[in-house]
Structure 1
Amino acid sequence: MSEYRRFGHTIKEHVITVPWDYDSPEDSAETFELYAREIIPPGGEDKPALLYNQGGPGFPAPRPLGLSGLLAKGLERYRWILMDQRGTGRSHRIDGLSPEADRSVERLRLLRQDNIVRDAERLREHLGLEKWSLFGQSFGGFCITSYLSLAPQSVERAFLTGGLPTLDKGVDDLYRTTFAKLKYRHDLFTTQFPWVQGRIEEIINHLDNSAEILPTGERLSSRRFRTIGLELGRGSGFDSLAYLLEEPFRTVDGEKRLRSDFLSQVGSRVSFQSGPLYAAIHESIYGGVGKLGATNWAAQRIRAEFPEFAEAGTYLTGEHIFPWQFEEDPALRPFRESAQALAQHEWGEKDAMYDVAALGAAEPVAAAAIYLDDIFVPFEDSMATAAAYRDLRPMVSNRYQHNGVHVDGAGILGELFRLADDH
């Protein structure tokens, strides 16, 4: 363990060895080093611990450049534990440069929320804590729901933002809901910016008939361009996309071309270079829910039910992952075969990550920010899951989109603290 001072706080780094597969015999299990950063406020060595469960999946814990907003609010009561989830950051990052064994389906299927919880339990024991509290944004809330299913006795309180997963809806039905909500957001976007739909269609037609090359060297297809719709689920997404789309073309030697700055910005939006695991394991986090076996590229199949989002459609798509992205994105090509195998993996009852009975009996008080217009984690499903908790106090809001905690983290966490205190 190393220790240093930063931002007037004590930073401790923890590294422990944990198994990849907790079902393997202990004497033969493959292992990796799990990393966590602890932030202790001045005089706060004895404050209780709050584990940060990162959204994603496939991304590491935050790397603070200062202590403000959400982190500062948490430090009023807790010391933060920022754990890099398995396969991310300093917890054995997996990407295109990793050995083939790390990119295998056998390894990818072990990166879901249930094993993240088991890693966290090993870390809690290493820290000598009988209990700790949990914070989770988005996928981090999925991890919390799994935590309270598997080890509720280790949890004091739980705070979730945009992260209450469906407990009984298979991924096909879930994506029917998210595509419907994405359609609403796209229509609202084009209502507020009436010129945008024509511009999107102009760009689609251009990309279908002209070769435009991204800074990373590959041709940009119209279907990949449409994945910039992820922004529609973020608080400033409408304005961000409108600025991007307002003047994308220029004329070069009499030929209509996309501007280089436009291609650069689109390239950064559609590339998974910073987090390829997000795409590689995304649908697997729903495996075993709703008694559905293989996810079988659910987003690709369900989009065909919505003409606006189908292959010939002209609506922007959201966080959904499609098999052709593993052909077109250089960062995903090394995962092509394993992602295909993971999509065909048959998830069974033993793979279930949530236990409704355990949630209903779990003693920890929970508080959750639930967003009415969330296109990532649907409101109706979140409320149904909230009702399954023994004691979850909801903060329901239409003020924020899915990334509300990045807009007003201190305000939201403060309200969740107040709700949890009121008992």
Structure 2
Amino acid sequence: MHTVSQSFVEQGIKYTPKFYTLPLNYSDDSLGNITVFCRELTQADDSDSHKPWLVYLQGGPGFPSPRPNGHSGWLKRALQDYRVLLLDQRGTGHSSVISHQTLAPLTAQQQANYLSHFRADNIVRDAEAIRQQMGVEKWAILGQSYGGFCSLTYLSMFPSSLLRSYITGGVPSIDPNPDTVYQATFERTMDKNQAFFTQFPQAQSLCQRIADHLLSNEEYLPNGQRFTVEQFQQIGINFGMSDSFLPTYYALENALIEVDGKTVMRYEFLDMMFKEQGFQTNPIYAILHESIYCQGFASNWSAERVRQTRPEFNYQSGNHFYFTGEMVFPWMFDQYNCLKPLKQAAQLLAEKQDWGRLYDRAVLAKNTVPVTCAMYADDMFVEMDLSRQTLKHIPNSKAWITNQYEHNGLRADGEHILDTLIAMGNHIASTQY
């Protein structure tokens, strides 16, 4: 069942919002339904009604599909060949949103049980149910980052529903447990740290001064949460994006000020740090982050365990300072105000062992869907070597490996990247017969 909201037109694009009522658990209807939102984008003159559909699978986990503002980037290129469906993955945007507010009425065990249904397998089942209700025979998918993980799950579960698969910065490792992934990403994170501090040598002393100040003084973010060294380190996640070094350095310059002879943190710096904490508004990103790698085993706080083998990331006064990256740690559920109510559920999910399979090696080994991927050689979040190992076992797949972009390449130069992947996919299709 679905409902359609009022369409509107902006810059020649028609936007049609739709809401679908779908099962929480596709194996057990008794658990009730959720609402899944998507937005259809077509040319306003309706001349593209013959075009196939392209479903955009957003990065994350736990963030909604983009709210486009203009006919540009990858969307501009996509609309030349496709009608586009922007899917708010379950739990995000307008799709039965998950937050500390919506989970508050549930016990910790109920929270964990509910959240266990919000991984890639059910995101893909939602998309497949929507495809069937729309009466679409086959469609293409574009997966960015975590959306690429979802794409391989789609190729594993419903390959006959797909025309093409385009993946940007998101070919997952389908075998190793999370420890292998985090060992690689900690190494890439150190590479980014070294590059940053080489470009801005003076930043090391600024970071040490900020960290030492936080160890010796209580500073509070605009929401009343105490700001800590560990939270400060987490802004290193930005190093995975292009053009992030200079803004980070500017922020460090602006961190401290003298007031009546006492050193304090400037309010604008604290406000900036608060706005960096997407975990506050999108808790799925924290609470399910490690589970996206789990298939029949528990994560047991993998990133924290790997971090303890890298003591340089545990700052102590007098030592070098290093930022962390795209990792989730158990202490976050003690420090972040909006994650504190989810601490017990997070522990239960970290200990959960019976996660279902997300990828089917046998199905992927027989793949016939053209799969084209943009792999970023210096990607801080998705290890290129592990991605290449995955593609070795998927026929009709091809990687474009480049160091021209960081993980956010699709946002930085989406029109060119998608154009390249479409051309690669057309070439694969033309050589299949």
Output the TM-score relative to the length of structure 1. Answer: 0.96
2:239 equivalent in structure 1: 232
Q: Aligned partner of 1:360: which letter? A: A
- Cα deviation for residue 47 of structure 1 reads 1.1
| 1:6 aligned residue | 9
Equivalent of 2:331, from 324, 327, 337? 324
Q: Label 1:51 to 1:271 Cα distance change in 2 as closer, same or farther (>3 A).
A: closer
Partner of 1:40: 42
- What is the distance in 1 between the residues matched to 2:60 and 2:315? 26
**Which residue of 136, 142, 148 maps to 1:129?**
136
Following TM superposition, where does structure 1 have runs of at least 4 consecutive aligned residues deviating by more than 4 angstroms?
Answer: none
Distance 1:82 1:142 in 2: 17
Unaligned runs of 5+ in 2: none
2:283 is the alignment partner of 1:276: yes
Give, in whole Å, the separation in 2 of the partners of 1:109 and 1:4.
34
Report the AA paired with residue 173 of structure 1: T
Write out per-residue CA displacement over residues 166-211 of structure 1, whole angstroms, 9 at most, x where no aligned residue.
0111101110111011111100110011111111111110000011
Greater shift after overlay, 264-273 or 100-109? 100-109
Instruction: Please list, as runs of the form range in 1=range in 2, the aligned pairs for 1:303-322 lying within 5 A after superposition.
Output: 303-310=307-314, 312=316, 314-322=321-329
Deviation readout 1:32-85 (Å, 9 max, x if unpaired) = 111111001131122100000000000111111222111111101001001111
2:187 is aligned with 1:199: no
RMSD: 1.4
- Residue 33 (structure 2) pairs with residue 31 (structure 1): yes
Query: Quick one: distance in 2 between partners of 1:187 and 1:294?
Result: 32
Which residue of the partner structure matches residue 98 of structure 1?
102
Is 1:360 matched up with 2:362? no
What residue in structure 2 maps to residue 337 of structure 1?
Answer: 344
Q: Is residue 404 of structure 1 aligned with residue 406 of structure 2?
A: no
* Separation in 2, partners of 1:267, 1:162: 27
Instruction: Report the counterpart of residue 71 of structure 1 in structure 2.
Output: 75
Distance in 1 (alpha carbons) for counterparts of 2:396 and 2:196? 37
> 1:3·1:10 contact (CA, 8 Å) conserved in 2?
no
Aligned equivalents of 2:65 and 2:281: distance in 1? 13
**1:50 matched residue in structure 2:** 54
- The equivalent residue for 2:421 is 416
- The one-letter code matched in structure 2 to 1:354 is Y
The match for 2:163 is 156
Count of residue correspondences? 416
Residue 190 of structure 1: aligned partner: 197
Counterpart Cα distance in 1 of 2:235 and 2:145: 19
Matched to 1:37, the amino acid is R
- Give distance in 1, aligned partners of 2:137 and 2:395: 21
Q: Which residue of 2 aligns with 1:371?
A: 376
TM-score by length of 2: 0.93
Identity of aligned residues (%): 38
Match of 1:21 in 2: 25
For 2:412 and 2:139, the matched residues in 1 are separated by 26
